[in-house]
Amino acid sequence: MTYISKPRLHHPKLPTNALGLTHRDYEGSVSTLCAGCGHDSISGAIIQACFELSIPPHRVAKLSGIGCSSKTPTYFLGASHGFNSVHGRMPSVLTGANLANRDLIYIGVSGDGDTASIGFGQFAHCVRRGVNMTYIVENNGVYGLTKGQFSATADKGAPSKRGNANQDAAIDLAGLAIMLGATFVARSFSGDKTQLVPLIKAAIQHRGAAFLDVISPCIAFNNHPGSTKSFDYVREHNEAVNYLDVIIGRDPITLDQAAGSVELVAQHDGSVLKLRKLAPDYDPTQRIAAMGYLQEGQAAGEIVTGLLYLDDDPDDLHERLQTTRKPLNALADAELCPGKAALEKVNAALR
């Protein structure tokens, strides 16, 4: 993979977070994507979210598949663990890593091709198992890296750059994630950092499967008139149901509630989501209603964005499997080999 490292020098007066780190400490190599690609804005939002949450970079594992989107982990969190896997295989590699070490924060980055075609099964099973992760799809409706073929999220009838209309029905990944059992589902737009940064922060804080579908225009192959994934189209059809702020547990929680328009949702780790409701009838805790709302928006030609579904008391895969709390690489010999008596007991139970 190509990369250009950034000079380490930076201004001594850059603002710092609770760890004394600057925004620069959360950056990665210089991006080699097309200038103006939506994916770079998402990398910027991830950097901002991790900086604001004061996450120690070495506590993050970033994983991806193949595509322009899957290249992006090289461009953020340069001091974190990273694994650029095979096309569509990020979810299983992330699941394995998470099972081996639950102490890291897992960020999976994928594309609409990577997730909605070759990795479709992987995506489905990772989400339904409730792996504790932030799964981000950088959704541009095309295979950007291989020069702009329609992906499975391209809307039916939407024209390619050369004018051919897409013949197939689109897959709605956010709707599917809700159906499959994700406990945090949101949609946003790479060009709306005000909405996207808090959503990423909340997804990272969420202890369960968090899925984010981020519309991210491909300026090289899918930013023409008629495309439903272009900057102009998304700006014109964006129907935000809510905006959030995330107040993390370790901060004193003081809230100014605007009557009728703010809803507070406490998360398991003590953080509080402060939802500024834009659609007064939208309640993100109602799973079935959320699915219906998405369908209605789609039928009306709207791109519904915001926090779409939240289960504020999720359990994750480790809880269900009752796995050891310790990362596997920290287990001592005695824990790994409990001895002959323990083995006899297991064997006896199976007879």
Residues that bind ligand SF4 (CB under 6 A): 33-34, 37, 39, 68, 140, 144-145, 218-221
Binding residue (CB under 6 A) for ligand TPP from 6, 23, 87, 193: 87
Smaller CB separation from ligand TPP, 134 or 267: 134
| Nearby residues of 304 by Cβ (< 8 Å), 6 or more positions away | 187, 239, 241, 293, 294, 297, 298
Alpha carbons 305 and 9: distance in angstroms, whole number? 38
Pick the stretch among 3-11, 140-148, 162-170, 193-201 that binds ligand TPP (CB under 6 A).
140-148
Least distance to ligand SF4, CB of residue 142, Å: 7
Alpha carbons 311 and 287: distance in angstroms, whole number? 9
Taking CB positions, which residue lies at the least distance from ligand TPP?
111
Least distance to ligand TPP, CB of residue 105, Å: 23
User: How far, CA to CA in Å, does 127 sit from each of 153, 173, 182, 332?
Assistant: 18, 11, 5, 31
Q: Is 38 in the site for Mg ion (CB under 5 A)?
A: no
Q: Is 113 in the site for ligand TPP (CB under 6 A)?
A: yes
Binds 282, which of ligand SF4, ligand TPP, Mg ion, none (CB < 5 to 8 A, cut-off by type)? none
Pick the stretch among 133-141, 196-204, 239-247, 275-283 that binds Mg ion (CB under 5 A).
133-141
Neighbours of 106 (CB within 10 A): 22
Q: Is 146 in the site for ligand TPP (CB under 6 A)?
A: yes
* C-beta separation of 207 from 316 below 8 A: yes
Least distance to Mg ion, CB of residue 336, Å: 42
Interface characters, 152-191, with ligand TPP (x: CB under 6 A): ----------------------------------------
Smaller CB separation from ligand SF4, 180 or 218: 218
Smaller CB separation from ligand TPP, 75 or 143: 143
Binds 34, which of ligand TPP, Mg ion, ligand SF4, none (CB < 5 to 8 A, cut-off by type)? ligand SF4
Least distance to Mg ion, CB of residue 280, Å: 34
Least distance to ligand SF4, CB of residue 212, Å: 17
Binding residue (CB under 6 A) for ligand TPP from 28, 57, 67, 130: 67
Binding residue (CB under 6 A) for ligand TPP from 25, 40, 138, 213: 138
Q: Is 91 in the site for ligand TPP (CB under 6 A)?
A: no
Q: Is 88 in the site for Mg ion (CB under 5 A)?
A: no
Least distance to ligand TPP, CB of residue 39, Å: 6
Q: Is 112 in the site for Mg ion (CB under 5 A)?
A: yes
Q: Is 140 in the site for Mg ion (CB under 5 A)?
A: yes
Taking CB positions, which residue lies at the least distance from Mg ion?
111
Three-state DSSP string of the chain: CCCECCCCCCCCCCCECCCCCEHHHHECCECCCCCCCHHHHHHHHHHHHHHHCCCCHHHEEEEECCCHHHHHHHHECCCCEEEECCCCCHHHHHHHHHHHCCCCEEEEEEEHHHHHHHCHHHHHHHHHCCCCEEEEEEECCEECCCCCEECCCCCCCCECCCCCECCCCCCCHHHHHHHHCCCEEEEEECCCHHHHHHHHHHHHHCCCEEEEEEECCCCCCCCCCCCCCCHHHHHHHEEECEEEEEECCCCCCCCCCCCCCEEEEECCCCCEEEEEECCCCCCCCCHHHHHHHHHHHHHCCCEEEEEEEECCCCCCHHHHHCCCCCCHHHCCHHHHCCCHHHHHHHHHHHC
Binding site for ligand TPP (CB under 6 A): 66-69, 87, 111-114, 138, 140, 142-146, 151
